[in-house]
Structure 1
Amino acid sequence: MSKRSMHEDDPLEDFIRRDIIFDGAAKRVYVAGSGPAVIVMTEMPGISPQVARFSRWVRDAGFTVYMPSLFGRDGAVPTVEEGRAVLQRACVSAEFRAFAANASSPVTVWLRALARLAHQECGGPGVGAIGMCFTGNFALTMMLDPAMLAPVLAQPSLPFNDPGGIEMAPDELAAVRRRLDQEDLTVLAYRFDGDRICTAQRFAAYSRALGERFVARVLPDSAASRELSPFFEKVVGCPHSVVTAHLIDEAGQPTIAARDEILAFFAQRLAPRTHGQA
């Protein structure tokens, strides 16, 4: 993959644009690649050049990427004003549960339908997904659908008003735990040590709920990039986005190691099953 500037809007010209409708709700989905399906859910405030870069890495690793537009301006470098406006709209949107409610965001129903469609279109044993920041927990909720096999939680940040909360109904969380145990599956999760949005308390809550099925990775703050867009510098204000905004794209960097671990996780979980495998 050729290098692109992370400081200019990304035209996303190498993705196919599809408008997909489930239960009357239409969303733009950017699709690229071939192989088993992986759903990449953007962080706040939208599909930035860094989010698109991560999707291209997934595509180039041998997967079909489905990148739904959930909020913000697609491909844009986030500014402070625009980013804050997108965040404010999302926090009051009926599609999301930004604050503690012991319930999953309603948009996850649409995303589970997307996972089923992606599995039908791409085949293989199942689908992978990564959620980031605002969407960080969505990949776990999507485990309620049998098509989902490889969930990755990158700095899951909701609910905002409960640092130790999990954005999921207790009965759904229990159902996911049963499935993880029954099918011998795991959940990968990432955060920076000094992240004030995705806190240590939240990872502790996941560990209590999911036990050894929750595989946590905590990166040192020194591993985070300091070359940031205005939104991440002024609004986020702490090491946060492990494989996107705060990733350092250099060999040997901990954030690159995290990216490679995620790609290997998808490859292992979504590899075609040979005769005799469960």
Structure 2
Amino acid sequence: MRDLSIDDPLEDFTPRDFHLLGKSRRTYVSGSGPAVIVMAEIPCISPHVARFARWVRDAGFTVYLPHLFGRDGAAPTKAGALWTLGGACISAEFRAFAANASSPATQWLRALAAEAHSECGGPGVGAIGMCFTGNFALSMMLEKSVIAPVMAQPSLPLNNAAGMAIAEDEIAAIRTRMEAEDLTVLAYRFEGDRLCRAARFAAFQDALGDRFQPRVLPDTAANPDAPLKNPHSVLTIHLIDEAGQPTLDARDEILRFLEMRLHAAG
């Protein structure tokens, strides 16, 4: 078992540079089978994010881990998280405070999904976002290959608890597509999370109806030994890797969701 408190060399991932929409971005790829884009939370592709990506890979998928911010493989620290968050908030790629606008980074991520689908085949692509990138998984459904989106504690916009960080015409188009193709999005948060509040899930529910499938975990399900005391990261630092734990059950539900959409549909 890897020590999640030290840097992860990501030695079992192949680093590749994808040149899409005039931009080049390092992306770590591993596995075989249908493609799943796993987007890191602040501060980076941490050992906890890499652990989740390996679980997805070992379930029979090709994982694409794009570099979005921070130092790849670094163990998370409070100082590192604050530094990365500050940089991301002023970056032109992210709209951290826009309630009704999608981050420009999602355009590149949609192009990556299309490329991954071309490489891996199958009925489509999965997209999993966490925290700062949580909303991105839904925005990526504007790319026709994305059929299995998962939002873990979507935290944008940072200044509006009920904001969805997606343009109104885009979410309308996504709902139309979901209904036409019988698609759904899974979403996870802890009940007392101060970064992803109940108002945000209510807004998504209003916008998407029963196509939005929320899961709210009790705060007591969060790993009490995590460095962040606010219960937040369902799939990473607050996950308890023990049978019967709600966070591990959430991971398993996601793996079943990916299996149903990306394997069974093929």
Which range, TM-score by smaller chain? Answer: over 0.9
Residues 124 and 272 of structure 1 are in contact (CA less than 8 Å); yes or no, is this contact kept in structure 2? no
Residues 47 and 74 of structure 1 are in contact (CA less than 8 Å); yes or no, is this contact kept in structure 2? yes
C-alpha deviations, 1:90-131, integer Å up to 9, x for none?
000000010025110000000000000000000000000100
Match of 1:223 among 202, 221, 233: 221
Match of 1:252 among 227, 244, 254: 244
Match of 1:182 among 180, 183, 204: 180
Question: 1:187 and 1:80 mapped to 2: Cα distance?
Answer: 31
Give 1:228 deviation, angstroms: 2.0
Q: How do 1:186-225 and structure 2 match up within 5 A? A: 186-225=184-223
SS state at 2:56 partner: helix
Question: 2:145 and 2:115 mapped to 1: Cα distance?
Answer: 9
CA-atom RMSD in angstroms: 0.9
Q: How do 1:2-21 and structure 2 match up within 5 A? A: 3-21=1-19
Residues 134 and 155 of structure 2 are in contact (CA less than 8 Å); yes or no, is this contact kept in structure 1? yes
Give 1:273 deviation, angstroms: 4.1
Give 1:82 deviation, angstroms: 1.9
Residue type at the aligned position of 2:88: A
Residue type at the aligned position of 1:243: L
The aligned counterpart of 1:88 is: 86
**Where do 4+ consecutive residues of structure 1 move more than 2 Å?**
none
Residues 19 and 27 of structure 1 are in contact (CA less than 8 Å); yes or no, is this contact kept in structure 2? yes
Residues 99 and 163 of structure 2 are in contact (CA less than 8 Å); yes or no, is this contact kept in structure 1? no
Match of 2:71 among 70, 73, 86: 73
Residues 37 and 64 of structure 2 are in contact (CA less than 8 Å); yes or no, is this contact kept in structure 1? yes
Question: 1:239 and 1:91 mapped to 2: Cα distance?
Answer: 22
Match of 2:34 among 36, 52, 57: 36
Question: 2:80 and 2:149 mapped to 1: Cα distance?
Answer: 30
Q: TM-score, normalised by structure 2?
A: 0.98
C-alpha deviations, 1:206-263, integer Å up to 9, x for none?
000000000000000000002224xxx2xxx410000111000111100000000000
Question: 1:170 and 1:82 mapped to 2: Cα distance?
Answer: 33
The aligned counterpart of 1:239 is: 231
Q: TM-score, normalised by structure 1?
A: 0.94
Give 1:52 deviation, angstroms: 0.1
Question: 1:252 and 1:134 mapped to 2: Cα distance?
Answer: 28
Identity of aligned residues (%): 66
The aligned counterpart of 2:253 is: 261
Q: How many residues align?
A: 266
In structure 2, runs of 5+ residues without a counterpart are none
C-alpha deviations, 1:129-163, integer Å up to 9, x for none?
10000000101001011100000000000000000
Give 1:21 deviation, angstroms: 1.3
Question: 1:23 and 1:254 mapped to 2: Cα distance?
Answer: 40
SS state at 2:24 partner: strand
